[in-house]
A = this chain, B = another copy of it.
């Protein structure tokens, strides 16, 4: 057991062939005689040889078969978000059959990016900024120097990155128009975190200027483009409880000043808003209309159907996977922006008559 693992050289020696011939057997070359092949495979079996060492193979072929997924915060938080999970699933769906594995690169408690120390020890063919991405992330600079191509999903924008995104702004605008057409005039936004520092509460101009996430900024702009400036409350995380908390701050006041509609920047936050509304005894959509964003499956919302902008999350993941695969092969794929679709559910209705 503690014996050193046999190498291909040992196998070749045992089979009585040259190292290069044995290698040919494993690389599936046609140019090796059936008898020889069997002899090599036989020797390998006898020695308990488990196949060519991936590291040595990578060294020569300049390819590790590993793509890094930068998820930006602790897994337990990142994966609470169904969008992140679906996205990763789409990526692996494409990469898996190609024999490429996905390496998780979570940030730790404090920083939002992965540690450069870890990054520099891991052989990456490409990296995907999956759920996050500060535009001044030091890890990004490191990847550049290493020559690791990067796909950014809703992430940082730069010329040397391939971008896969969705119509955040248009989708948000469509939701805002829907509310405007229903007569809503007092509309508020519950925003996803503008940056990962645990801040929550009303968003003022100063805070507003600190937005680090592209999708957050775009979704905000989409609403403002239709409704003008609207009050916004930031959630400390993209999670149901945070949505509820933010919504309470917005809704726990007399009807005359209370918003008649809330635009949550994600379905998760919208679920929280619905819970807050229920807790405060507000009827949806009678007293309050609520919209989300993403179109994720929230089974426990039933029978309510959330009005939201449905994005093709899994397809976005597949696109990111395809982009990474292309980059690995040395191609440079085009940026891609996927459409979102307005889904009108049962959580929006005409604005209550002004009193």
Task: List A residues at the B interface (Cβ < 8 Å).
Answer: 5, 48-59, 64-66, 68, 74-76, 79-80, 85-86, 88-89, 92-93, 96-97, 99-106, 108, 115, 117-118, 120-123, 142, 145-147, 240-241, 271, 275, 299-300, 314
Contacts and interface: CB of A to CB of B under 8 A. Distances in A.
Contacts of A97: 108
A342 B117 CA distance: 41
Contact of A121 (B68, B85, B99, B241): B99
A59 B50 contact: no
B50 A145 contact: yes
A47 to B, nearest CB: 10
Contacts of A102: 103-104
Contacts of A146: 5, 50-51
A137 B96 CA distance: 18
Contact of A85 (B59, B76, B240): B76
Contacts of A66: 66, 103, 122
A93 B120 CA distance: 18
A75 B85 contact: yes
A108 B146 CA distance: 31
Given A55-B58, A118-B101, A64 B108 contact: no
Given A54-B122, A66-B66, A66-B103, 8 more contacts: A5-B147, A59-B59, A64-B122, A79-B88, A96-B108, A97-B108, A101-B105, A104-B104
B55 A240 contact: no
Given A50-B147, A54-B123, A146-B51, A96 B106 contact: yes
A267 to B, nearest CB: 13
Contact of A240 (B92, B103, B108, B299): B299
Contacts of A121: 54, 57, 65, 99, 101
A48 to B, nearest CB: 6
25 contacts: A5-B147, A49-B145, A50-B120, A50-B147, A51-B120, A52-B120, A54-B122, A55-B123, A59-B59, A64-B122, A66-B66, A74-B92, A74-B93, A75-B89, A75-B92, A76-B85, A79-B79, A79-B85, A88-B104, A96-B108, A99-B118, A103-B103, A103-B104, A123-B123, A241-B299
B122 A65 contact: yes
Contact of A76 (B80, B89, B147, B300): B89
A13 to B, nearest CB: 19
Nearest to A107: B96
Contacts of A300: 240, 271, 275, 300
A59 B54 contact: no
A109 B51 CA distance: 26
Given A48-B145, A64-B123, A103-B101, A80 B85 contact: yes
A102 B102 CA distance: 9
Given A65-B122, A75-B89, A99-B121, A55 B59 contact: yes
Contacts of A104: 88, 92, 101-104
Contact of A58 (B50, B118, B123): B123
A99 B114 CA distance: 10
A104 B79 CA distance: 14
Nearest to A86: B76
Contact of A64 (B49, B55, B115, B117): B55
